[in-house]
Amino acid sequence: MRRLTPFLVLAVLCASREAHALDGERRAQLGAGAAYGGEASALLFGGWAYGIKDSVDLRADLLGTLSPASSGATLALHLGGLWKWEVTQWVPYVGVGLGGRRDFAARRWDLLLVPAAGLDYLLNRETSFVIEYRPTITLTHERTLEHQALLGFEFRWGW
């Protein structure tokens, strides 16, 4: 029984911090993580979102890439919205946004259309893991489609 005591205490503490999927109105969240996107070997992202309703968030993301294949780096900013479905601990969502990307090697700016689909796994009311897929479409210069898979961690706060 002594061996089980620490696990029982941990289980009780975790159970007391119940996760609620759609408790997001007037709550902000901050996230960061890493991603893979085609040629880019290193992708880092950070994001901020604010819940205007339980099921709708406004979102801004900053995404930086470094690609040894093309000897270049890019920095992108995406602004958009997310729509979430009510599920207890798993929260699927879809979203769309517009963005701009600075390609330092080509010395140009690109306009981007950024649809997204993802899944949040809520650890508790304040923290979650995120997996997301973004097929980013370049609207200027050469029209291209880039596939990005993102893994991250988010922290939420609010009132």
Burial class of residue 18 in the structure, from the number of CB atoms within 10 Å of its CB (0-12 exposed, 13-18 middle, 19+ buried): exposed
Within its chain, how far is the Cα of 98 from the centroid?
15
In this predicted structure, what is the pLDDT of residue 10? 38
Which of the residues in the chain have pLDDT under 70? Answer: 1-24, 26, 36-42, 68-71, 86-87, 158-159
The set of residues, in sequence order, having a beta carbon less than 8 Å from that of 37 and lying 6+ positions away, is: 43, 65, 136, 146, 147, 148, 149
**Fold assignment, 5-158:** Porin (2.40.160)
Rounded to two decimals, the pTM is: 0.73
Contacts of 8 (CB under 8 A, 6+ apart): none
Query: Which of 78, 66, 74, 73 minimizes the C-alpha distance to 31?
Result: 78
Give residue 108's pLDDT. 87
pLDDT at 98: 93
Q: What share of the chain is helix, strand, coil (3-state, %, to 5)?
A: 10, 65, 25
Sorted by where each begins, the domain ranges of the chain are 5-158
